[in-house]
Amino acid sequence: MPAEENGSAVAGTSSSGKRHDALQLGPRRKARTTDPLVHHGRHFGRSIHALCNMHALINNGIIRIGERAEDSEEDFTPQEQREHRVFCALLKSVPGLEEKLMSANSEEDIQSIAAMLQKGASSARSDDTKSLKSAIIDWIVPPGEPLMPPISRNAKTGRGFHHEVTGALLCPAGLDWTDAEIKDKLRSGELTVPGDQWPLFLFSSYAYDDKDPSKGLLQSSILVKTFKHIFTSPSSVEREAKATRSGNARIHGMTGVTRGSIAYAATQARFALSSSGVFNRNDTITDSERFYNSILEYLEDPDEADDVNHLMAWWNRQVFPNYVPNSRPVSKNSALAKIKAKRAAAKQAALGNIDTNTS
């Protein structure tokens, strides 16, 4: 019986019976398309929140905009309010998501949506962890200066507090890496470092000022390079940013940094410098989840708004040179400024005439 009638083709032949040469490249196949939810989940994890439980976030969000829509803001805990802000950011970042959720026919449909978004966030984190493991080695010493002893690009065992350079970068702010006793305790694990005890590499010039603890915070060269590697392309790290954007930022229409993207870059850089081999949010040694959340908490703290706004402006100058803030003032001597002044004067004169007539 012919192969076609049997429902299968003979190896090395097409369904039409034509034989293909097995020692030559076959026809180019179309790449399989990624589910749009996975695509958007990748950017959500990088730029808004990297370590959330997507299913719980969506379920809680649906309840909030559904059966609890009439509740006042005061009825929710600060944590619930924060969760809802993240949920709203998710709806805004994924086109058509709210309609998908509202039209879901079952809990299984909602689980499927959450699973796709979670898959995207997890796969992006995995890809970035893998690529940064090698790339960060080039950034921890000045250009042209050899790293002694050398660090393997494909292994993590020689990093962290086991290496002089990475150890100094990961040393908690306020501790002296040159103190032999502190160094030994960090290397042996006798001195554990919780995630909210931030390392020196987060600070500009890797210097911490105990009298001004926010000075240079989140402004280090390693952090900027990590951000560019992830968001604008690996090739943009060592060259001046151009007007056109590329990489993940361009794909997702990202034109400015977000608080989540800075926290994400910091978490990825810290892990790349560490000796841990597998990124695990519940790992008590690297304590990555606590570290990430502590950075995000600082950046979202209303009491730190002035410093954080200046920090965000600094970041946009580093990464997105064409960034234009929404509240950019009009130049004093521009045509637009004069038009606005003329309009304001006309309105004022009109109001004066109304007052005169009514009196």
- 200-237 per-position pLDDT tens digit: 999 999 999 999 999 999 999 999 999 999 998 887 88
pLDDT in tens, 295-324: 999 999 999 999 999 999 999 999 987 765
In this predicted structure, what is the pLDDT of residue 236? Answer: 80
Q: What is the pLDDT of residue 35?
A: 86
> Is the model's pLDDT at 115 over the cut of 90?
yes
pLDDT digits (tens, 9 = 90+) for 127-147: 999 999 999 999 999 888 999
| Top-confidence residue, 103 or 338 | 103
Tell me which residue of 187, 185, 179 sits closest to 163, measured CA to CA: 187
Q: Residue ranges of the domains in the chain?
A: 36-121, 140-319
Higher pLDDT, 64 or 244: 64
The angle formed by the CA atoms of residues 17, 20 and 24, to the nearest 5 degrees, is: 170
Most confident range (mean pLDDT) of 23-37, 128-142, 236-250 is 128-142
* Model confidence, pTM: 0.79
Q: What is the pLDDT of residue 320?
A: 85
Residue type at 278 in one-letter notation = V
pLDDT computed for residue 334 by the predictor: 67
**pLDDT of amino acid 2:** 45
What mean pLDDT value characterizes the chain? Answer: 85
- Whether residue 117 is predicted with pLDDT greater than 60 in this model: the reply is yes
Higher-confidence residue of 82 and 285: namely 82
Q: Which of 65-69, 160-164, 245-249 has the highest mean pLDDT?
A: 160-164
Q: Which amino acid is at 124?
A: A
pLDDT of residue 279: 80
- The secondary structure of 200-257 as a DSSP string is GGGBGGG---TTSTTTTBT--HHHHHHHHHHHT-GGGTTSPPPSS--HHHHHTT--S-
Q: Is the pLDDT of residue 266 over 70?
A: yes
Percent above pLDDT 90 for the chain: 64
- Evaluate whether 88 touches 39 at the Cβ level (below 8 Å): no
pLDDT at 133 (0 to 100)? 95
pLDDT above 60 for 179: yes
**Weakest mean pLDDT among 176-180, 203-207, 239-243:** 239-243
pLDDT at 354: 61
Kindly report the backbone phi and psi dihedral angles of residue 19, in degrees, each rounded to the nearest multiple of 5, phi listed first.
-85, 135
pLDDT at 8: 43
DSSP secondary structure letters along 69-123: TTS-GGGS-HHHHHHHHHHHHHHHHSTTHHHHHHT--SHHHHHHHHHHHHHHHHH
* C-alpha pair distances (Å), 174 with each of 64, 197, 226, 337: 42, 9, 24, 49
Query: How many CB atoms neighbour CB 195 within 10 A?
Result: 19
Give the pLDDT confidence score for residue 300 in this predicted structure: 95
302 contact partners, CB below 8 Å, separation of at least 6: none
Tell which residue, 258, 264, 254, 257, has the closest CA to residue 289.
264
Q: Distance of alpha carbon 355 from its chain centroid, rounded? A: 56
Q: What is the DSSP string of 107-171?
A: HHHHHHHHHHHHHHHHHHHHHHHHHHHHHGGGGSS-TTPPPSS---SS--TT-GGGSHHHHHHHS
pLDDT in the model for residue 197: 94
Q: Within a 13 Å sphere around the CA of 111, how many CA atoms are in the beta-carbon half?
A: 3
- The number of residues in the chain equals 359
